[in-house]
Amino acid sequence: MRDDTAQRRWHAIEADEALELLGSSRDGLSRNEADARLARDGLNALETEEEVGPFQLLLRQVRNPLIYLLAGAAVLSLLVGHGVDALVIAGVVVLNSLLGFFQEWRAEGALAALRDMAAPHARVLRDGRSTQVDAAHVAPGDVMLLETGDSVAADARLLSGDDLQVDESALTGESEPAAKRPDRMDEDAAMADRENMVWMSTSVTGGRGRAVVVATGMRTQMGQIAREVRSAQQEETPLQKRMHKLGLVLGVGGVALAGLVFALGLLRGYPLVDMLMFAVAAAVSAIPEGLPAVISVTLALGVRRMAQRNAIIRRMTAVETLGSTTVICSDKTGTITQNQMTVRRLWAGGATFEVSGEGYRPDGEVRRDDAGTVAETAGPLDRLLRIGVLSNNAGLKEESGQWRVDGNPSEGALLVVARKAGIDADAMRREVQRLAEVPFSSSTKYMATLHPGDDGTGRVAYVKGAPERILGFCSHVLADGERVELNDERRREVAEISEQFASEALRVMAGAYRDMPQGASKLERAAAEEGLTLAGLWGMLDPPREESVQAVRDAKGAGIRPVMITGDHAVTALAIARQVGIAQDGRVVTGREIDEMAKPDLARAALEAGVFARVTPAH
């Protein structure tokens, strides 16, 4: 594949035009054509560093002026008949080299094991039929079939999608799965806003779709990141620089001192051989034979402590750089935050509620803001939580003491808050049958389900989705336990609550219901889009980890400046940065601003700003 083809703005053209440019069709490639393209463009795999052999690892340990100096001292000691000294110095060199060798050999083995754990596959259309192939054998022009749970094998332009949701947090920093649709996007759309593109190494969390591959291997977004990482020049650590300088100083100083001693001895009439041996002894004595071993043992202890914290140190000398760190740049999603959506605020029946607890573990309470007491799950609040449980396709499970969500993270958060309020979501789902469903789509921004009514004879439709959409469907609202008309004043009040939640960096979702005719077995979109009664609002976010606040505090205490770099929205990034103590003046630099900055301005912003939001890997 030519590089200009790989870098084309595929999101800004129609799907059929993309197929034509790629020489493909909606039925995919033939097997012969796919093989030809693989032969031409190479396998769909990221280039990795060449494996380091044992000899190269061992050679790496002795590339140090101080080691050279010790080796020279051992040879000189042997030449002048000091065999014991020579053996001691040689032993120090060997032990020092073996210590570093075995440590780095174990690290290389651990990294290789991690790489071997992933053996991804992909389903593509070959000769018009669905075929499973190794991800490495996906070719440009292949049509991938994507379903829930799949890992996207290559960068691709969406051809069709049925409520397709993709988790792009590892690439863009978005906490929420991105809704995908095949429509053409604006040419200047940021990577996180290209809803018609799917990216290598992201995962499908919901729905299904078809996409034509536009870039493989090192031409993908992940490949560009890998190329940038590999092109970064490896500098010597401060300790290595100091060791090299010390080795040169000791070497030059030792030789100069030995030469001076030798010359003075000759001037005073001492025998030549005696002075030569004395000068060599003086030079050897100036060399700290134990210093390399002490440094290696110290670094090895540091590596061991890092290993106990589940961190693999590839090179021992890298441990020392931790002590020289002045700035720590960290991602947000999954690093500073838990990457687990959590409901923090609720509004129902005219009252606002606070929810305690973090992540998917259903430990916490729901308390009224005004009273501070544990809320009773009755009336509007019960109705809202009930909607969140029943109009929901996610699942909440506990495995080995860890809670996880199968499905959309936001829907998982609704199950968690229901459990915190004392509702047995699994039992409720077993008791209340789902009769029909209007699935969520990125265009309608809501989901609706049909269930038996509370009295067991009627029918009720539960609807949840974007507040601006749900509010437009509602004619009534639950207030003080009663169903009242949603007049202009109440509509403004709800809109203000929603805006208040959003200003706190909360993702807002609304829940509503409608009583349906007895015996109804189908649910049409028209019925779900009018005459609803608003039950309330959920406000959720991906909360910071408990240890993040202390980690930021410790870093600042050590004179280190933490910086957050994320692909998420600026408001969300700033709110999290303030919670953990990163943001000082509230300034956020966005990826669009970085593109427009001159180098001096960018350098100044890098020194001043604590939050960089809506950035891409290229930034």
- Residue 224 within a domain: yes
Give the domain extent around 567.
327-336+545-613
Rounded-to-integer distance, Cα 348 and Cα 481, Å:
9
Residue-wise pLDDT tens digits, 251-277: 778 778 888 888 888 888 888 877 877
Rounded-to-integer distance, Cα 617 and Cα 168, Å:
12
Q: Which residues contact 280 (CB under 8 A, 6 or more apart)?
A: 76, 77, 79, 80, 258
- Which residues face 337 on adjacent strands? 544
Taking alpha carbons only, the member of 566, 559, 554, 178 closest to residue 335 is 566
Encode 147-209 in three state secondary structure.
Answer: ECCCECCCEEEEEEEEEEEEECHHHHCCCCCEECCCCCCCCCCCHHHCCCEECCCCEEEEEEE
- Residue 244 within a domain: yes
pLDDT band at 325 (very low <50, low <70, confident <90, very high): confident
Which domain CATH number covers 587? 3.40.50.1000
Note the residue count of the chain.
619
Mean pLDDT score, 501-522: 89
Highest mean pLDDT (candidates 167-171, 360-364, 606-610): 360-364
Q: Which among 230, 256, 285 is the end of a domain?
A: 230
- Residue 600 within a domain: yes
Claim to verify: residue 420 and residue 456 sit in the same structural domain: yes
- Residue 124 within a domain: no
Q: Report whether pLDDT(294) > 50.
A: yes
Rounded-to-integer distance, Cα 11 and Cα 156, Å:
10
Residue-wise pLDDT tens digits, 429-475: 999 999 999 988 777 889 999 999 877 678 999 999 999 999 999 99
Claim to verify: residue 241 and residue 376 sit in the same structural domain: no
Domain count within the chain: 4
Mean pLDDT score, 60-74: 72
Which domain CATH number covers 248? 1.20.1110.10
Claim to verify: residue 290 and residue 183 sit in the same structural domain: no
Portion of the chain with pLDDT greater than 90, in percent: 35
The pLDDT value given to residue 375: 57
Q: Report whether pLDDT(116) > 60.
A: no
Lowest mean pLDDT among 56-65, 131-140, 317-326, 572-581: 56-65
Q: What is the biggest distance separating any 2 CA atoms in the chain, rounded to whole angstroms?
A: 122
Claim to verify: residue 533 and residue 549 sit in the same structural domain: no
Rounded-to-integer distance, Cα 113 and Cα 91, Å:
33
Contact 355, 348 (CB under 8 A): no
| Helices within 219-290 (DSSP H only) | 221-231, 238-267, 272-285
Q: Tokens 């050679």 belong to which residue?
A: 59
Task: State the sign of the Cα–Cα–Cα–Cα dihedral 365, 367, 372, 376.
Answer: negative
Residue-wise pLDDT tens digits, 186-219: 988 878 889 999 999 888 887 889 999 999 988 9
Q: Strand (E) positions, 376-506?
A: 395-399, 402-406, 436-438, 446-452, 459-465, 474-479, 482-485
Q: Which among 259, 294, 324 is the end of a domain?
A: 324
Lowest mean pLDDT among 102-106, 257-261, 343-347: 102-106
The pLDDT value given to residue 111: 56
Claim to verify: residue 216 and residue 301 sit in the same structural domain: no
Q: Report whether pLDDT(579) > 50.
A: yes
Q: Which among 170, 197, 230 is the end of a domain?
A: 230
Highest mean pLDDT (candidates 137-146, 399-408, 516-525): 137-146
Which domain CATH number covers 203? 2.70.150.10
- Residue 312 within a domain: yes
The pLDDT value given to residue 118: 45
Rounded-to-integer distance, Cα 101 and Cα 106, Å:
9
Contact 433, 449 (CB under 8 A): no
Q: How far is CA 315 from CA 54, 57, 102, 103, in A?
A: 14, 10, 11, 8
The pLDDT value given to residue 211: 96
Claim to verify: residue 375 and residue 481 sit in the same structural domain: yes
Count of C-beta atoms within a 10 Å radius of residue 30:
12
Portion of the chain with pLDDT greater than 70, in percent: 89
- Residue 120 within a domain: no
Rounded-to-integer distance, Cα 484 and Cα 478, Å:
6
Out of 35, 193, 331, 406, pick the active-site residue.
331
Element (H, E) at 143: strand 143-147
Residue 127 among the catalytic residues: no
Claim to verify: residue 303 and residue 331 sit in the same structural domain: no
Contacts 24+ apart (CB under 8 A), 67-70: 67/93, 67/96, 67/97, 67/247, 67/292, 68/247, 68/251, 69/247, 69/250, 69/251, 69/254, 69/287, 70/287, 70/289, 70/292
Q: Report whether pLDDT(604) > 70.
A: yes
Claim to verify: residue 375 and residue 518 sit in the same structural domain: yes
Rounded-to-integer distance, Cα 28 and Cα 22, Å:
11
Q: Tokens 């960290």 belong to which residue?
A: 330
The pLDDT value given to residue 17: 93
Taking alpha carbons only, the member of 91, 68, 67, 89 closest to residue 80 is 89
The pLDDT value given to residue 569: 77
Q: Which residue has the higher pLDDT, 72 or 37?
A: 37
Claim to verify: residue 506 and residue 592 sit in the same structural domain: no
Which domain CATH number covers 427? 3.40.1110.10
Q: Report whether pLDDT(4) > 60.
A: no
Claim to verify: residue 291 and residue 318 sit in the same structural domain: yes
Q: Is 210 helix (H, G, I), strand (E, B) or coil?
A: strand
Claim to verify: residue 417 and residue 562 sit in the same structural domain: no
Q: What is the pTM of this model?
A: 0.64
Q: Report whether pLDDT(281) > 90.
A: no
- Residue 130 within a domain: no
- Residue 618 within a domain: no
Strand 561-565 and strand 532-541: pairing? unpaired
Q: Which residue has the higher pLDDT, 77 or 393?
A: 393
Q: Which residue has the higher pLDDT, 231 or 125?
A: 125
The pLDDT value given to residue 230: 65
Claim to verify: residue 352 and residue 213 sit in the same structural domain: no
Rounded-to-integer distance, Cα 417 and Cα 509, Å:
13
